[in-house]
A and B are shown apart, each in its own frame.
Chain A
Amino acid sequence: MGGRDTDIVLLDENGIRSDGRKVNETRKVTIKAGVLKNANGSAYIEFGDNKILVGVYGPRDVHPKHMSDTDTGILRCRYHMAPFSVGERKNPAPSRREVEISKVIKEALEPAVMLKEFPRTAVDVYMEVLQADGGTRCAALTGASVALADAGIPMRDLVAGCAAGKAADAVILDVNNEEDQAGQADLPIGYMPNLKKITLLQLDGVLTPEEYKQCIEIGIEGCNQVYEIQKKALQDKFFASGEKQ
């Protein structure tokens, strides 16, 4: 996979990428927790030009009833892209890609959430991509874990997401849309920073074993940076106005 031909210079001679970042630099990430009144927990995340709104409901009754589990609560995730999130109008019906991303995000969050305490209930996570610019699954995962914490769902750790990849023969951190389209590989990582465990790992493209190791390394470093922002978002919402008691 050599990537598609493009006029864009993905990496110039000074090691600066098409959007002005260095190879090991993430885009600007901002997260705000608790933005929706009607959901039990919510978060709004801007990951570069990605804009994603996440709402969490639950624990609540399971409908349809047959999905409920008497031993544990269940987690349900929906990742959805708004029709206006991309250049050409996107059909709002769930696509094959959205179904896949919903599934991988659900599986990336499951090791973190502790739903054994809520048998016969469901926790629903709705992720709405308002604007997409590459790396939405990592951004949605990051936002979802903040929204879950905001809803008061017990979690072993937050899950932070960040992608690594390869473009113009260089290993890069946080692949944007252009680098995803024209680059050589994209490796999204979901990571629990305190437990030091990876919960999401996908790879699109070809990497040598050496490059793969590098990608994992800088990807985890990226997740740690994203985690600090997640932490700040929760602290801002819950602890900002009151001094320590």
Chain B
Amino acid sequence: MSGERKRHVIPGEVITSGSYRAEQNTIQVGDNIVSTIVGLSDIHDGSVRVIPLTGGYMPKDDDLVIGKIASHSSLSWTADINSCYVGMLPASDVFGRDYSSSSDDMTAKLAKGDLIAARIVNADMTRDPLITISGRELGKIDSGELVKISPNKVPRLIGKRGSMIQMIESSTNSQVTIGQNGLLVVSSEDPNGLLKAIQAIELIEEQAHVANLTDQVNEMLESKSE
């Protein structure tokens, strides 16, 4: 039953009834599948979900996020990851297993206010989510412009198979690191390209609900390049 039209729903609204699986942001009440959030309903392969239009970021395993170091203890840093939970970055992740709190200086590696690209390792909600900065494309961010958008609009910014973000990157000659938590770092050699990329991102943030957004963004990118 895929391809059914997406519908606007609000909490408590019945999306469908019958033998469907209730997934993201839905609950089953008797025979009905009910939305729990304001968003777009999506029925696909016998399962029902609602794509949220509002709300904050909830950490999920394997998400790439951009965080800001908030503080550190003798064993770990805490990072603000634009969520109701703070990210925990263990010192052993940076210094290796032979980390010793007496000989290694944590602030030398990451100080308060530093930006990091991190991946969420464990977000089981029983404790603050564990993050790591060891891996490709992860680690401290030294340059670039930080842009904040609503976490719900991140999928729109990326587009189908990354089409939207690739278009922005190639036509403005910039690199965009997208955190699933709605924080982005845009960097470019060319200051005009940087500005244009940020404008394009802001346009997507404002117009996320419009249907033919890709064309609109493309138009905007081309018009300014003349």
Contacts and interface: CB of A to CB of B under 8 A. Distances in A.
Interface residues of B, number: 31
Q: Tell me the dominant secondary structure on chain B's binding face.
A: loop
Contacts of B52: 152
A241 B12 contact: no
Interface in B37-78: 37-38, 40, 52-56, 58
Contacts of A40: 56
Q: Tell me the dominant secondary structure on chain A's binding face.
A: loop
Contact of A152 (B5, B55, B126): B55
Give the interface residue-count category, chain A. Answer: 35 or more
Nearest to B30: A195
Contacts, number: 92
Given A60-B84, A244-B7, A156 B34 contact: yes
Contacts of A114: 27, 36
Given A114-B36, A195-B29, A238 B53 contact: yes
Contacts of A121: 84-85
Contacts of B121: none
Given A70-B126, A234-B10, 12 more contacts: A114-B27, A114-B36, A120-B85, A149-B10, A152-B52, A154-B11, A156-B12, A157-B34, A158-B12, A238-B54, A239-B209, A245-B6
Interface of B: 5-8, 10-14, 25, 27, 29, 34, 36-38, 40, 52-56, 58, 84-85, 125-126, 152, 209-211
Interface of A: 40-41, 58-61, 70, 112, 114, 117-121, 149-158, 192-195, 231, 234-235, 238-239, 241-245
8 contacts: A60-B84, A61-B84, A119-B125, A152-B37, A153-B55, A154-B25, A155-B37, A192-B12
